Amino acid sequence: MIKLAEISTRAPEGWDKKETEKETEKLVKKLGKLHHNLYAESKQSVLVILQGMDGSGKDGAVRNVFSDCTIAGLDLVSFKKPTEEEFAHDFLWRVHRWVPQKGMLTIFNRSHYEDILIQRVHGWIDMERVQKRMNAINAFEDLLQFDNNTKIFKFYMHISKEEQLVQLQERIDDPEKRWKHNDGDWKEREHWDQYMEAYEYAINNSTTPWHICPVDQRWYRNYFIAKTLADNL
């Protein structure tokens, strides 16, 4: 049973930042070559899910980790509030249409897990609906893996409440980041404990395992994701 409060949001003790950044550069290049092979072979696909609280660095991870990947074989999908058309369908309808075809690597910036996170936290669905949706998510991910040869890598972007405060405040103080500022992020922060409970439920009830990625130090976040993907691919 994973308890997020028991897992550090920082790099392990003794890790050197400069050495890690050098190793990350090598891993990013390796990942780029592996992605080229994936695209050329077109026999399998990869789905990377980045899920975490506001300010956990999902956009930064995309910029830094996938910079050497083949553009033609890379898709990035960001899931925001569903449209009226999406609301009129089952919750996985808008997600299934974006899953990667063979040869492609697709990154989900947020994902189908939003439908058992924010909706649960705000009481828009009850726990019976949460459990049924969790079962549907597991079946959906199993379908992708066993029917379409899709490799799924799910990263929970593990940020501390203290670091999130720093990141959200930077969006106000730094003119270059001000476009990211959203008053709603501060309101969601008020539900921190409920979100942690919802994340732990999703993580512990998934049949496809999650990678808990410490993100308080961005250099280690980049290394963690690049290392996980390069080693597995």
Average pLDDT (217-229) is: 98
- pLDDT higher than threshold 90 for residue 171: no
Confidence of residue 187 (pLDDT cuts 50, 70, 90): confident
SS3 of the chain: the string is CCCHHHCCCCCCCCCCHHHHHHHHHHHHHHHHHHHHHHHHHCCCEEEEEEEECCCCCHHHHHHHHCCCCCHHHEEEEECCCCCHHHHCCCCCHHHHCCCCCCCCEEEEECCHHHHHCHHHHCCCCCHHHHHHHHHHHHHHHHHHHHHCCEEEEEEEEECCHHHHHHHHHHHHHCHHHHHHCCHHHHHHHCCHHHHHHHHHHHHHCCCCCEEEEECCCHHHHHHHHHHHHHHHC
For the question of whether the overall pTM of this predicted structure is more than 0.85, the answer is yes
Task: Give the per-residue pLDDT at 180.
Answer: 80
pLDDT band, very low/low/confident/very high, at 173 (cuts 50, 70, 90) = confident
Distance, in Å, from the CA atom of 195 to the CA atom of 204, rounded to the nearest integer, reads: 14
Which pLDDT belongs to residue 185?
80
Q: What is the pLDDT of residues 83-139, one digit of tens each?
A: 999 999 999 999 999 999 999 999 999 999 999 999 999 999 999 999 999 999 999
Phi, psi of 128 (to 5 degrees): -65, -40
Region 72-92: mean pLDDT is 94
| CATH (residue range 4-232) | 3.40.50.300
What is the pLDDT, as a whole number, of residue 184? 75
Confidence class for position 183, pLDDT limits 50, 70, 90: confident
What local confidence, expressed as pLDDT, does residue 91 receive?
95
pLDDT digits (tens, 9 = 90+) for 4-57: 999 999 999 999 999 999 999 999 999 999 999 999 999 999 999 999 999 999
Split at pLDDT 50, 70, 90, the class of 188 is confident
**Closest among 22, 13, 8, 1 to 219, alpha carbons compared:** 22
pLDDT of residue 46: 98
| Sheet of 45-52, strands arranged across | 74-78, 105-109, 45-52, 150-158, 210-214
Phi/psi of residue 134, nearest 5 degrees:
-60, -40
